[in-house]
C-alpha cells in the first residue's frame, strides 16, 4: 500500500494531468450571410493563434485546447464577428453581415479548404460589377478573349501560352454543369457562356494547370467554374443603352417571402434581352434572349435540394475577318518559299469595319436543367449528387478565305448541329481527425453522354445552296470518370494526393473507339506564417480530342498526355497587400491545331513555361489597385529555332487598374488590358499585333437605385481584337495570298445604365 501511495498514485495523477493539459475540443460551425441565409465560401475562423478556412458550403471544423475559446470569423466584404464556444458540441450557425471591403481581413491559412485564388476572385467580383459573360471571363488573371465572327459565337480564349480556340484547353462549368461541347462541329470544347446571366453569379473559382482530381477533359491550361446565387438579397430591374444601337434590359425577381427564406426555401427568376448593331458598316443585328430560374429547399437538417433551369437563343450577322491588304496598300504577305513580300492593295479597299462576305451569320440556342442534392450523412460524412441535361442547337455560315478554294462559288461553309447532353456528378467525402491532424478523403464519379444529330460541315454558295459535304453524321460520345482524393493537413503542412481515371467512348459513322487515361496529381503546401504560404502543384492530364478526328486517326494521338508543375507563393508582406505568384511548366506529348473552320491539324510535342503574378493592394479605405502580369514561352519541342513557334499563343499579357468605393455611393474603376504582339505562324514571319485598351466604369449606387456609365476603349485606341493567318483570295485577285486577317476591336463605346432595386 505504501508503494502504491509513493509510486503508482503520483504516476496516475501525472497521466490524468497530462491528458487534461492536452485535452482537445472539436468545434463545428457554418458561416452564412445574414441577409440571404446562404453559406459564405471560405470564411476565415481564428482562435488560439490558429486559423482555418470554411469550405465552399460555409462549413468549418476547428480543434482547440480550450472548451471556452473565442472564435473570430471574417471574410472579404463582411463585418468581422466574435463568438465564445462552449462544450455542448452543437453545430454553431454564424451569420455575418455584409460590410466594407478590407484586405486586412484576408488571412493566409494552412487549412485544407483554403483556395489560392479565392481571395483574388472574391475581391474582383466585389469591386467590378459585370453585365456580360465577357466581363465574367476577363476577371480571371491572365485570361484574354476575342470575338472574330460576331458577338453570338463562343469567345476565342487565350491563357497560359495557349490559343485555346473556343475552349479546347480550358474546362468551363456553371453550377457543376459543363459548358464545353465535346466534338463540336466548329471546335473541340466550344464553350459558349452566353446563356449565363452575369447578375445571377455569386462566386467563381478558377485553377491553372492539370492538377485537380475533380476536373478532367479540357483541363490542360486550367478550369473556370461559376456558381449561381441560391437566393437574392434584393430584386432588381436594369435598363442599358449605348452607341451602335445597343440596349439591354435585365430583371431578377425574388419569388418567395422572408418567412420562406427563414425556413430554408428560396426561389427567383431572371431574364435579359440584348441587342446591338456593333460598330461595323454591316449592322450586326445581334439579338439574345435569356431566362433563368432557381429553387432551393432545405429538406430537414441534413439535405439541401437545388433545382434550376435556363434557356437562351441568339442570332447575329458578323462582318468576319478581313485580310490586311483589303484595307491598306503595302502590307506584308508570304510567298511560296515562305519569305515576306510586299503587295499592293486589293482591287477594292474597304474600311476596317467593312464587310467582304455579307452572307455570313449564325444562330444558336441552349436549354439547361440541373438538379442537385447535398446530404450530411453524419459522422463527418457528406454526399453530393447532381443530374443535368442540355438541349443545344447551332448553325453558322462562315467564310474567311473568300475565293481561295473555289474561285466561282466562293468558300462559304455551313456548320450546324443539334445535341442532347445528359450527365451526372457524384461525390462522397469523409473528414477524419488524428490528434491535431485532419484527413479529408473523397471519391467522385462523373459521367456525361453527348448525342449530336446531323453534325454538318459542308460547302455552300452565298445563297446557302449545298455544294458538297466535308463531314456529316451523328456523333455519340461518352466520358465516365472516377477519382480518389486524399488531403492531409498537419500543422503548417498540407499534402494532397489524387488520381483520376477517365474512360472515353467515341462513335462516328458507326465506328467506335475507346480510350482509358489515368491522371495522378500531387499538391504540397507549406504555410510558413500568416504572411507567407508556399505551394507545389504537379500532375498529369490530357489534351482533349474530337470524335471525328479520333475515328479518322489522321496522325493524331487519341488523348495526348499533358504533364505540368507549378511552384507558387501566396504572400501578405503588409496588411493591405496580397500577392500570388507562380513559376510553371507544361509539356504536351502532342498538340492539336484547331483551325477557324473546325478542321483539326496534328502538331508535335510542345513545351510551355512561364511566370504568373497577381497583386491586390488597398491604397485607402475606398481605393484598391490590382495588377496581373503573365509571361509564357510556348514552343514546339521537335523544331528548329526558326520554325518552332505556336501561332497566336500569348507570350506577355497584363491587366490592372484602380477601383474605388466611396461612402456616398460613388464607385467605379479605370482598368487596362494589354496583349503583346505574338507570332502569327510557325516561322514568326507573320505577326499578330498587340494592343492596349483602357475601360472606365462610373456608378452612383443608393439603396433603391443605381446609375452607371461605362466607356469601353476610353482612349479610342485603334486595335485588332483578333488576328489569324489565312490563305485568302479576294474577288478580282488572280491567286490566293498567305497573310494575316483581322477583326477590328471596338472603338470608343459609351453606354448608360439605370437599375432599380426592390
360-414 tens-digit pLDDT: 999 999 999 999 999 999 899 999 999 999 999 999 999 999 999 999 999 999 9
pLDDT at 18: 41
pLDDT at 23: 55
On average, the pLDDT of the chain sits at 90
pLDDT at 436: 81
162-215 tens-digit pLDDT: 999 999 999 999 999 999 999 999 999 999 999 999 999 999 999 999 999 999
C-alpha cell at 646: 505556336
50-53 sheet: strands from edge to edge: 50-53, 44-47, 70-74, 81-84
Query: Are 124 and 142 contacting, i.e. CB atoms less than 8 angstroms apart?
Result: no
Q: Going from the N-terminus, what domains does the chain have, and what CATH number goes with each?
A: 20-113 (2.60.40.1120), 130-757 (2.40.170.20)
446-491 tens-digit pLDDT: 999 999 999 999 999 999 999 999 999 999 999 999 999 999 999 8
pLDDT at 67: 67
617-643 tens-digit pLDDT: 999 999 999 999 999 999 999 887 778
Q: How far apart are alpha carbons 680 and 522 in whole angstroms?
A: 36
pLDDT at 255: 97
% the chain with pLDDT above 90: 71
pLDDT at 123: 85
Q: How far apart are alpha carbons 518 and 210 in whole angstroms?
A: 12
Task: Place 107 in a pLDDT band, splitting at 50, 70 and 90.
Answer: confident
The 8-class DSSP code of residue 154 comes to P
- What are the φ and ψ backbone dihedral angles of 106, each rounded to 5 degrees? -75, 125
Residues 6 or more apart from 156 whose CB is under 8 A from it?
Answer: 145, 146, 147, 148, 163, 164, 165, 166, 722
pLDDT at 17: 42
Q: How far apart are alpha carbons 472 and 458 in whole angstroms?
A: 8
Please determine, for residue 268, whether its predicted confidence score (pLDDT) is greater than 80.
Answer: yes
Element (H, E) at 138: helix 133-138
Cell 453530393, located at residue: 384
Average pLDDT over residues 214-242: 96
Q: 3-class SS at 366?
A: strand
Which of 13-22, 383-392, 489-498, 734-743 shows the lowest per-residue confidence on average (mean pLDDT)?
13-22
Question: What separation in angstroms does the CA of 303 have from each of 37, 65, 157?
Answer: 15, 31, 38
- Nearest of 718, 747, 49 to residue 436 by alpha carbon: 49
334 against 685, higher pLDDT: 685
Average pLDDT over residues 336-341: 67
pLDDT at 2: 55
pLDDT at 16: 40
pLDDT at 235: 97
Please determine, for residue 597, whether its predicted confidence score (pLDDT) is greater than 70.
Answer: no
- Residues written for the chain: 758
pLDDT at 554: 65
Q: How far apart are alpha carbons 526 and 571 in whole angstroms?
A: 12
pLDDT at 151: 83
- Nearest of 707, 705, 688 to residue 697 by alpha carbon: 707
- What are the φ and ψ backbone dihedral angles of 261, each rounded to 5 degrees? -65, -40
Amino acid at each position: 500500500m505504501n508503494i502504491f501511495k509513493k509510486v503508482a498514485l503520483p504516476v496516475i495523477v501525472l497521466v490524468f494531468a497530462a491528458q487534461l493539459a492536452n485535452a482537445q475540443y472539436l468545434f463545428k460551425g457554418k458561416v452564412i450571410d445574414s441577409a440571404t441565409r446562404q453559406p459564405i465560401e471560405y470564411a476565415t475562423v481564428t482562435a488560439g493563434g490558429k486559423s482555418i478556412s470554411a469550405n465552399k458550403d460555409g462549413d468549418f471544423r476547428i480543434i482547440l485546447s480550450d472548451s471556452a475559446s473565442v472564435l473570430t470569423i471574417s471574410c472579404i466584404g463582411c463585418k468581422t464577428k466574435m463568438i465564445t464556444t462552449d462544450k455542448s458540441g452543437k453545430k454553431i450557425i454564424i451569420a455575418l453581415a455584409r460590410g466594407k471591403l478590407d484586405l486586412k481581413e484576408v488571412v493566409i491559412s494552412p487549412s485544407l479548404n483554403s483556395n489560392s485564388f479565392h481571395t483574388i476572385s472574391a475581391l474582383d467580383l466585389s469591386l467590378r460589377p459585370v453585365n456580360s459573360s465577357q466581363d465574367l471571363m476577363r476577371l480571371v488573371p491572365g485570361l484574354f478573349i476575342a470575338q472574330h465572327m460576331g458577338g453570338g459565337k463562343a469567345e476565342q480564349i487565350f491563357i497560359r501560352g495557349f490559343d485555346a480556340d473556343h475552349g479546347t484547353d480550358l474546362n468551363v462549368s456553371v453550377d457543376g454543369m459543363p459548358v464545353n461541347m465535346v466534338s463540336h462541329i466548329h471546335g473541340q470544347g466550344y464553350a459558349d457562356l452566353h446563356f449565363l446571366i452575369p447578375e445571377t453569379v455569386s462566386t467563381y473559382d478558377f485553377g491553372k494547370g492539370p492538377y485537380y482530381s475533380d476536373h478532367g477533359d479540357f483541363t490542360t491550361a486550367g478550369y473556370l467554374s461559376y456558381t449561381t446565387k441560391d437566393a437574392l438579397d434584393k430584386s432588381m430591374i436594369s435598363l442599358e443603352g449605348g452607341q451602335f444601337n445597343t440596349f439591354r434590359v435585365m430583371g431578377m425577381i425574388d419569388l418567395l417571402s422572408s418567412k420562406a427564406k427563414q425556413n430554408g426555401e428560396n426561389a427567383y427568376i431572371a431574364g435579359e434581352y440584348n441587342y446591338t448593331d456593333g460598330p461595323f458598316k454591316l449592322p450586326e443585328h445581334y439579338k439574345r434572349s435569356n431566362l433563368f430560374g432557381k429553387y432551393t429547399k432545405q429538406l430537414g437538417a441534413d439535405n439541401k435540394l437545388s433545382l434550376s433551369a435556363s434557356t437562351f437563343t441568339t442570332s447575329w450577322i458578323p462582318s468576319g475577318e478581313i485580310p490586311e491588304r483589303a484595307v491598306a496598300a503595302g502590307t506584308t504577305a508570304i510567298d511560296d518559299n515562305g519569305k515576306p513580300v510586299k503587295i499592293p492593295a486589293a482591287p477594292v479597299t474597304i474600311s476596317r469595319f467593312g464587310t467582304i462576305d455579307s452572307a455570313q451569320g449564325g444562330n444558336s440556342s441552349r436549354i439547361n436543367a440541373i438538379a442537385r442534392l447535398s446530404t450530411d450523412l453524419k459522422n463527418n460524412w457528406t454526399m453530393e449528387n447532381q443530374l443535368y441535361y442540355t438541349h443545344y442547337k447551332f448553325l453558322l455560315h462562315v467564310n474567311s478565305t473568300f475565293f481561295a478554294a473555289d474561285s466561282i462559288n466562293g468558300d462559304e461553309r455551313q456548320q450546324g448541329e443539334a445535341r442532347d447532353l445528359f450527365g451526372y456528378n457524384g461525390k462522397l467525402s469523409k473528414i477524419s481527425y488524428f490528434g491535431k491532424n485532419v484527413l479529408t478523403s473523397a471519391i467522385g464519379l462523373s459521367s456525361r453522354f453527348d448525342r449530336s444529330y446531323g453534325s454538318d460541315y459542308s460547302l455552300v454558295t452565298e445563297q446557302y445552296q449545298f455544294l458538297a459535304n466535308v463531314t456529316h453524321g451523328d456523333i455519340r460520345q461518352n466520358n465516365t470518370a472516377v477519382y480518389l482524393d486524399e488531403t492531409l493537413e498537419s500543422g503548417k503542412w498540407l499534402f494532397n494526393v489524387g488520381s483520376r481515371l477517365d474512360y472515353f467512348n467515341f462513335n462516328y459513322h458507326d465506328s467506335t473507339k475507346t480510350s482509358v487515361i489515368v491522371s495522378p496529381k500531387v499538391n504540397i503546401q507549406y504555410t510558413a506564417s500568416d504572411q507567407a504560404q508556399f505551394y507545389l502543384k504537379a500532375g498529369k492530364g490530357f489534351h482533349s480530342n474530337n470524335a471525328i478526328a479520333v475515328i479518322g486517326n489522321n496522325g493524331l494521338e487519341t488523348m495526348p498526355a499533358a504533364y505540368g508543375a507549378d511552384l507558387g507563393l501566396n504572400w501578405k508582406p503588409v496588411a493591405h497587400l496580397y500577392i500570388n505568384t507562380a513559376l510553371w511548366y507544361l509539356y504536351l506529348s502532342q498538340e492539336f491545331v484547331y483551325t477557324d473552320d473546325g478542321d483539326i491539324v496534328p502538331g508535335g510535342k510542345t513545351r510551355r513555361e512561364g511566370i504568373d503574378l497577381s497583386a491586390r493592394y488597398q491604397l485607402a479605405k475606398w481605393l484598391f489597385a490590382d495588377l496581373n502580369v503573365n509571361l509564357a514561352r510556348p514552343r514546339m519541342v521537335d523544331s528548329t529555332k526558326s520554325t518552332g513557334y505556336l501561332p497566336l499563343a500569348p507570350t506577355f499579357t497584363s491587366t490592372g487598374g484602380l477601383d474605388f468605393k466611396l461612402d456616398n455611393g460613388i464607385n467605379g474603376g479605370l482598368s487596362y488590358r494589354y496583349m503583346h504582339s505574338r507570332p502569327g505562324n510557325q516561322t514568326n514571319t507573320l505577326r499578330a499585333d498587340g494592343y492596349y485598351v483602357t475601360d472606365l466604369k462610373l456608378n452612383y449606387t443608393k439603396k433603391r437605385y443605381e446609375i452607371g456609365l461605362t466607356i469601353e476603349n476610353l482612349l479610342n485606341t485603334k486595335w485588332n481584337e483578333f488576328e489569324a493567318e489565312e490563305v485568302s483570295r479576294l474577288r478580282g485577285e488572280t491567286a490566293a495570298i498567305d497573310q494575316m486577317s483581322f477583326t477590328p476591336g471596338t472603338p470608343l463605346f459609351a453606354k448608360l445604365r439605370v437599375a432599380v432595386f426592390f
